[in-house]
Amino acid sequence: MLTDYLALLLLISGGFFFLAGTVGLLRFPDVYTRLHALTKADNVGLGFVMAGLAIQSGSWLVAGKLFLIWLLVLLAGASVAHLIARRALQRGITPWQR
């Protein structure tokens, strides 16, 4: 029962981070800030969602698999964000300044 509430809390927190990342993607001024918002917020959000699902699954095996998936997404997300930003810099897009 308590674990249900904990999982719910984690899932809602994850949803909040995904929402924040998406708002950042839509509202931020240039490609670098958008990448920053999207990658960072989604990685944390996915971590929360995975933690919630791991608790709900009630199995260490499933929890381990979810953790590995999260690690892979972290790695791929961070690398892809870096690659997009690098390409943008090479094409001469200057970072936004206030």
Report the nearest approach of another protein to the CB of residue 87 (Å). 9
Q: Where does this chain bind another protein (CB under 8 A)?
A: 72, 75-76, 79, 82-83, 86
Q: What is the Cα–Cα distance from 67 to 57, expressed in whole angstroms? A: 13
Report the nearest approach of another protein to the CB of residue 23 (Å). 18
Report the nearest approach of another protein to the CB of residue 98 (Å). 28
Q: What is the Cα–Cα distance from 45 to 24, expressed in whole angstroms? A: 14
- Amino acid occupying residue 95: P
Residue in 60, 39, 63, 43 with CA at minimum distance from that of residue 51: 63
Nearer to another protein, 23 or 80 (CB): 80
Nearer to another protein, 92 or 97 (CB): 92
Nearer to another protein, 55 or 73 (CB): 73
CB 43 within 8 A of CB 21: no
Report the nearest approach of another protein to the CB of residue 76 (Å). 7
Work out the widest C-alpha separation in the chain, in whole angstroms.
55
Question: Residue for token digits 């929890």?
Answer: 63
Nearer to another protein, 41 or 81 (CB): 81
